[in-house]
Structure 1
Amino acid sequence: MGKFIYLDNAATTKIAPEVMETMLPYFTEYFGNPSSVYGFASQNKERIAKQRERIASILGAKENEIYFTGGGTESDNWALKATAEAYGAKGKHIITSRIEHHAILHTCEYLEKQHGFEVTYLDVDENGIVDLEALKKAIRPDTILISIMFANNEIGSIQPIKEIGQIAHEHGILFHTDAVQAFGQILIDVDACHIDMLSASGHKINGPKGIGFLYIRKGVKIRSFIHGGAQERKRRAGTENVPGIIGLGKAAELAADSMEERTAAERALRDYMIERIEKEIPYCRLNGDRTKRLPNNVNFSFRFIEGESLLIMLDMKGICASSGSACTSGSLDPSHVLLAIGLPHEIAHGSLRMTLGADTSKDDIDYVVEELKKIVEHLRGMSPLYEDFVRKQANK
């Protein structure tokens, strides 16, 4: 096998060996249904409770506030739809931002079209940060929910979550945050940040796919999302994904234990990569906040470049990256996040997201930057727009 460098950890991560080892017995040896009454199976109920406790301790939450789901998208849907159902009599207004994951945006559109809700989509600044004064002005007497993501999945910008949560609570409004990219990368205290609901996913933290959780603060009157059984304290029916829950718990534990050292290393490599690209590749733009940024996120737009061609040529060199969210990779439209921060279509189309992992080395970064320089130069050499731009610059 040739060179292989994986820089798409925001899309998914590989399962850690310790996680896989922990999960395997639950496919074969401990396969019992946790709802069964005999000891062999009911032991799994205790094991699930242990994982719930592990995750709660990382968030500063209580064990009975963690509900296992099929992933971040389900958790987001549950938070919004169940809030709309439970609190709709109080009001039908929701506040979110224009740069949310589509699990939030499409759910908001559904609530608007099917249930008559009004949604305010907050603008963000050029770095992708929500303006707190604009948030305050958007609040109405009938606002029942504010949902703002903890950190953006494309450009990595971290929102002022604590301040947003405080504003929500001062006005008696529920606050949900999509923390799929932040959980395991940033210290989160749900009480300190005034968070009522929080979504997370296993496969973003070297855990398995198909498992996630929703934190629901005690006292929040969120109703059942899936009906048909008494699982998850009657709020999310269906036989529990025992191997997935075991894997999620282990992955969360590993992420929390390694967070300080791991993210410091990622941050150093991230900044090194950003510095090299800005110095060595002209006509590029760093997307997202320079400092209030996920430790592993690098997102650039390259003028006069088409993103799909860039990705294909990087792939030919053994480099895995993306142009934005994996959930919209089939779309020909430019990223809604990049448009929201003010980039014109032609520049947004030339975006590249590279997200580092614990295995990423300085040698990997050097190789990627060297190949990226060659590819950008090659693609610009084929661009009439770039040729015209260079000619105009020379004539100034």
Structure 2
Amino acid sequence: MHYLDHAATTPVRPEVVEVYAEELAGEGNPSSLHGAGRSARRRLEEAREEIAAALGAEPAEVLFTSGGTEADNLAVKGAVYAHPSPRPRLLVSAVEHHAVLDAAAWLGEQGLADVAFLPVTGEGTLDLDAARELLAQGEAPALVSVMWANNETGVVQPVEDVVALAGGAPVHSDAVQAVAHLPVDFGASGLAAMSLTGHKLGGPVGTGALLARRDLALAPVHHGGGQERGVRSGTLDVAGARALARAVTLAVADREAENARLAALRDRLVAGALAAVDGLHLTGEHAPRLPHVAHFTVEGADADSLLFGLDTAGIAASAGSACQAGVQEPSFVLVAMGYPAGLARSALRFSLGRTTTEADVDAALAVLPDVVARSRAANATRAR
């Protein structure tokens, strides 16, 4: 199998496995006062400090979570719950991960927030003029949420411009796809909150963090022992925290060299695919994009048959978010970008990572024309 779905999940790095296994064999609840508990607490706080150092944050701003989805929910719901208005404004981009979009929609449905969705351009970047107009309407929002880089298309958003437009209103960014591939500095960004997860950068599933400034008002989404500044209760996962810290540190240290390698592989894949298949279109071609993602639409094909054909040929790819896999609907990201429904059903994403080689790219290019031809034929048969 040639694995080209790193934007869904990356393999855990051996160095991370080592520290994770070491801690799993240990003992002590970090909230306990005895020696084993104090020792566990020390290791936990060292992990917190390590993440803060790698991402330009203060240790107290690092709140451990079970992953990006929980971090997004804590930021979006926590900011709304903590706001003094009974129905504060909440602005989120139309192409957010469902962890943000669905949380915002639920708050709106429950009458807890007045939700507005910020539109994007045909290239997938935020429409800053429209955002400026929406921000100027009514009271300052409880939160503005705009992801750092899109998980489907790989398009990078102008986070600093969003912070400037917000005019002091708190801005949250889902940086799940960005941390391993972009120069992320939380302190310099002006953000009030930022989400990350371990399994996109060589860490284990079930690890993540919300970076939140101390002056950001957050209410807990669930209640319990009052850990993590009182907003994220639950026995702290020392093994997960240490694994996440090691994965973040390694990803940041390797980022520049690895980005150059991945961008070269991605460009080779893009050029080869466009040359080999007519009616193949690169998404966000003129927008800033992550170095490891190549996202296409394929005229006359559909995502399911494309992915099945690739999988049969030994290529692991995706249509977009793994969280929406199997859902027979057009990509909501592409629809938000103005794509017609039929083309939005033909999305194909290749995403590269630390283990990707030239042989993986060659294998994908070798089978892609036949896979597309079969998908188009099947699509034409169904249409009769």
- Please tell me the TM-score bracket, short chain as reference: over 0.9
Looking at structure 1, the residues matched to 285 and 62 of structure 2 have their Cα atoms a distance apart, in angstroms, of 31
Which residue of structure 2 aligns with residue 163 of structure 1?
Answer: 161
How far off is 1:280 after superposition? 1.5
Deviation at 1:55, TM superposition (A): 1.0
Work out the CA distance in 2 between the residues paired with 1:308 and 1:383: 10
Contact 1:380 1:386 in 2 (8 A): no
Cα separation, 1, equivalents of 2:264 and 2:287? 12
Measured after TM superposition, the shift of residue 290 of structure 1 is: 4.0
1:25-71 Cα distance to aligned partner (Å, 9 max, x none) = 2212x121111111122111111111111111122110000000011
Indicate the residue corresponding to 2:138 in structure 1: 141
Question: 1:125-140 to 2 correspondence within 5 Å?
Answer: 125-139=121-135, 140=137
Q: CA deviation at 1:246?
A: 0.9
Deviations 1:174-198 (A, max 9, x none): 1000111111211112233210000
Runs of 5+ unmatched residues, structure 2: none
Q: Are 2:170 and 2:192, in contact at CA under 8 Å, matched by a contact in 1?
A: yes
Partner of 2:209, secondary structure, is strand
Whether the 8 Å CA contact 1:75–1:200 is kept in 2: the answer is yes
1:221 correspondence with 2:204: no
Contact in 2 for aligned 1:198/1:216 (Cα 8 Å)? yes
Whether contact under 8 Å (1:304, 1:385) holds in the other structure is no
Distance in 2 between the 1:382 and 1:177 partners?
Answer: 40
Residues 19 and 262 of structure 1: is their aligned pair in 2 closer, same or farther, counting only changes over 3 Å? Answer: same
List per-residue Cα deviations over 1:296-325 (Å, max 9, x = no partner): 101111111121111111111111111111
| Counterparts of 2:187 and 2:242, CA distance in 1 | 25
Pair 1:386–1:300, CA change in 2 (3 A): farther
Among residues 172, 176, 182, which one is paired with 2:172 in the alignment? 176
Contact map agreement 1:71 1:212 (CA 8 A) in 2:
yes
The alignment partner of 1:372 has SS state of: helix
Cα distance in 2 between the residues matched to 1:192 and 1:232: 23
Q: Within the alignment, does 1:78 sit opposite 2:74 as a pair?
A: yes
Q: Distance in 2 between matches of 1:46 and 1:241?
A: 13
- Structure 2 counterpart of 1:322: 318
Q: Given residue 344 of structure 1, which amino acid in structure 2 is its aligned partner?
A: P
Question: What is the SS of the residue equivalent to 2:41?
Answer: helix
Is the aligned partner of 1:16 residue 2:18? no
The one-letter code sitting in structure 2 at the alignment partner of 1:15 is V
**The one of 241, 246, 263 aligned to 1:245:** 241
TM-score, structure 2 as length reference: 0.96
**Amino acid across the alignment from 1:26:** E
CA distance in 2, matches of 1:116, 1:291: 35
More displaced 10-residue stretch of structure 1: 57-66 or 286-295 = 286-295
The alpha-carbon distance between structure 1 residues 387 and 107, as it changes in their structure 2 partners (threshold 3 A), is: closer
- Report what 1:111 is aligned to: 107
Match of 2:2 among 2, 5, 15: 5
- Is 1:185 the counterpart of 2:195? The answer is no
Cα deviations by residue, 1:155-214 (Å, 9 ceiling, x for unpaired): 00000111111221x2x3110001111112111122332100001111111101111100
- Is 1:233 aligned to residue 229 of structure 2? yes
Single out whichever of 368-377 and 226-235 deviates more from structure 2. 226-235
Q: For residue 119 of structure 1, report the CA deviation from its aligned partner.
A: 1.2
For structure 1, the residue ranges without an aligned partner over 5 or more in a row are 389-396
User: Which amino acid is the alignment partner of residue 167 of structure 1?
Assistant: L
Report deviation, 1:88.
Answer: 4.1
Aligned to 1:392: none
Q: Structure 1 CA distance, aligned partners of 2:117 and 2:240?
A: 34
Q: Which residue of 2 aligns with 1:339?
A: 335
Letter in 2 for 1:7: L
Contact 1:128-1:289 within 8 A present in 2 as well = no
Secondary structure at 1:85's aligned position in 2?
helix
Q: Partner of 1:284 in structure 2?
A: 280
- How well do the aligned residues superpose, as a CA RMSD in angstroms? 1.7
TM (normalized to structure 1)?
A: 0.93
Alpha-carbon distance in 2 for matches of 1:224, 1:199:
16
2:61 equivalent to 1:58: no
Identity %: 37
Separation in structure 2 between the aligned mates of residue 12 and residue 355 of structure 1, nearest angstrom? 10
After TM superposition, give the deviation of residue 288 of structure 1 in Å.
2.3
Rg larger for: 1
